[in-house]
Amino acid sequence: MTTRSSTDATRVIPEATVARLPVYLRALTALADSGIRTCSSEDLATAAGVNSAKLRKDLSYLGSYGTRGVGYDVDYLRYQIAREIGVTQDWPVVIVGIGNLGHALANYSGFRSRGFRVVALLDADPALVGQTVAGVVVRPFDDLEEIVREHDVAIGVIATPAFAAQDVADRMVAIGITSILNFAPAVVAVPEGVDVRKVDLSIELQILAYHEQRKANGADPTNADGGAA
Amino acid sequence: MTTRSSTDATRVIPEATVARLPVYLRALTALADSGIRTCSSEDLATAAGVNSAKLRKDLSYLGSYGTRGVGYDVDYLRYQIAREIGVTQDWPVVIVGIGNLGHALANYSGFRSRGFRVVALLDADPALVGQTVAGVVVRPFDDLEEIVREHDVAIGVIATPAFAAQDVADRMVAIGITSILNFAPAVVAVPEGVDVRKVDLSIELQILAYHEQRKANGADPTNADGGAA
DNA sequence: TCCATTTTGTTCCCACGTTCACAAACTCCT
DNA sequence: AGGAGTTTGTGAACGTGGGAACAAAATGGA
């Protein structure tokens, strides 16, 4: 085994693993809340809904935080994953587009509890500006630059209609935002070095519809699992 | 080339391709709305934000709907993809949990326009029952079975808090729902044959935070793309 | 101390997904 | 008709991810 120090910047964690670390984190928090101090990879894998071999391999990319014959210390492992993801620090976030979805996002408690702080809500519609949503006053979109500079914001959320998404993204990138979470049903192009993740509600339903249709047509059910269970 | 008839049930489309078909569908709709009647794989790939070779390979799983030297007929290809996904038919959907997110989902116009019809909104909270959201009256959760039978619902959406998600999923499965879209931040277990797709807002932000942290630490930027642009 | 038991960390192998590169097939122009 | 130009559909190479299996390392009891 090659023991890697936690400061070894050359270490690369596969993208598929990164996407699962937050799930492990949540499962560990649930275990800790139940008063459980130690767990095996089997326990944690069950709680996270994955295969235990996959879990162990995922954790091995972070380092060697378990004890053979014993398992993992819940609090210790939780801290290590949190540090690796970066949720031990505070992340200021701006949300652009305060429609139905923007409202819901602004009120979502799961952000706050994981270190994401909504520092501003922005909308181009003057009718919305000035209203208070989730305890935050909606400000005009043109205030974006001022807010980003003041709070050193790196992460932006787009919850606008599709037609506005690319413009908003362009403005965000120009001002220095380097990570974007896009809820608008549109493809946004960004330069190298900027991360975009897309969440599209209707696409998820369409994927389910495809599998549902195959089930209804009596297709071979061996592959009926949608691949996301 | 093996020409496959559209009724050949043995044909299997890779999961990764299925997940992109809705994106192509949206891009084609945008092209059609711009008055474009024909496009090349390069054009469509750009509009969809993917590599053109990948697009062609994806489309080849459906059949041979293009013309060499010419490209694809926008309307024709759009219809073929829509039929393949199943959005040419009407899909009744129930939403359980009418909090902030449930509200937003009920009002989301993107569902209706793609063949998904919200036939009922359900909540266990008596204070919410009877209220009208997006033109639909909220009904008690216990009405689930009656509604599912009446409308022949196959797809359920969970927008409850985490603690309720597994119970709701169990009830849905018992009643005969075979596809679930889960917005609750919890792992739900379902039996073989039931599809679950999970959308977790805070997980997406955590993935962005991980990459953001790596950028800030001056890590090798060659892999800085979050993998979802 | 030594052995049986447990559980991690890792290796090996297979399946899936992506991309390159090119033959096949179509249009248009002369 | 025939050749130049264009674009699709696909075979092959490559890279990533998942899972079984096992060696290594810890515990606990005799």
How near does any CA of chain A get to the CA of B18, in Å?
A: 7
Q: Residue B138 is inside which H or E element, if any?
A: strand B136-140
By the 10 Å C-beta count (0-12 exposed, 13-18 middle, 19+ buried), A38 is classed as middle
Nearest-angstrom CA–CA distance, B10 and B6: 10
Q: Which nucleotide is nearest to B42 if distance is taken from CA to C1'?
A: D7
Over its length of 229 residues, how does chain B's per-residue pLDDT go in tens digits? 344 444 444 579 999 999 999 999 999 999 999 999 999 999 999 999 999 999 999 999 999 999 999 999 999 999 999 999 999 999 999 999 999 999 999 999 999 999 999 999 999 999 999 999 999 999 999 999 999 999 999 999 999 999 999 999 999 999 999 999 999 999 999 999 999 999 999 999 999 999 999 998 865 444 444 444 3
Note whether B93 and B121 are within 8 A (CB): no
Residue A225: what pLDDT? 43
Using a 7 Å cut-off to protein CB atoms, list the covered nucleotides of chain D: 5-11, 16-21, 24-27
Contacts of B12 in chain A (CB under 8 A): 220, 223
Query: What is the per-residue pLDDT across A116-148, written as a single tens digit (0 to 9) for each?
Result: 999 999 999 999 999 999 999 999 999 999 999
The topology (CATH level 3) of B91-198 is Rossmann fold (3.40.50)
Distance CA B173, CA A192 (A): 44
- Contact with chain A for residue B217, Cβ under 8 A: yes
* Tokens 């008839």, residue located: B5
> What is the model's pLDDT at position A10?
52
CATH no. of B15-85: 1.10.10.10
The answer to whether the CB atoms of A111 and B202 lie below 8 A apart is: yes
Q: Which residue reads 């162990």 in tokens?
A: A56
Mutate one of A160, A204, A222 to test the B interface: name it (highest B CB count within 10 A).
A204
Cβ–Cβ of B178/A203 closer than 8 Å?
no
Query: Does B70 contact strand D, using a CB cutoff of 7 Å?
Result: yes
Predicted confidence at residue B219, as pLDDT, reads 56
Protein residue minimizing CA–C1' distance to D27: A69
d(CA A130, CA A115): 26
Does pLDDT of A220 surpass 60?
Answer: no
pLDDT value at A153 more than 60: yes
Q: What is the CATH number of domain A91-203?
A: 3.40.50.720
What is the distance between the alpha carbons of residues A162 and A184, in angstroms, rounded to a whole number?
Answer: 5
Residues 6+ positions from A156 with CB-CB distance below 8 Å:
A93, A94, A95, A96, A168, A172, A177, A179, A180, A181
Over range A49-60, report the average pLDDT: 98
Contact at CB, B195 and A212, closer than 8 angstroms: yes
Using CA coordinates, name the residue in chain A closest to B44: A187
Sign of CA dihedral A57, B213, A10, B207: positive
Query: How far is residue A99's CA from residue A80's CA, in Å, rounded to a whole number?
Result: 37
Contacts of B77 (CB under 8 A, 6+ apart): B28, B59, B65, B66
Backbone angles phi, psi at A115, to 5 degrees: 90, 5
CA distance, residue B171 to nearest chain A CA (Å): 17
Residue A219: pLDDT band with limits 50, 70, 90: low
Domain segments of chain B as ranges: 15-85, 91-198
Residue with more model confidence, A222 or A203: A203
Cβ of B85 and A206 within 8 Å?
yes
Tell whether A193 is within 8 A of chain B (Cβ).
yes
* B101 annotated ligand binder: yes
Distance in angstroms (rounded) separating the CA atoms of residues A101 and B71: 37
The answer to whether B68 CB is within 7 Å of strand D is: yes
- Token pair for B89: 């038919």
Q: Quickly count: other Cβ atoms within 10 Å of residue A62's Cβ.
A: 20
Interface test with B, best of A8, A55, A107, A197 (most B CBs within 10 A): A197
Residue A135 labeled ligand binder: no
Q: Is A200 on the interface with B (CB under 8 A)?
A: yes
- The overall average pLDDT reported for chain A is 92
Q: What is the pLDDT of residue B217?
A: 81
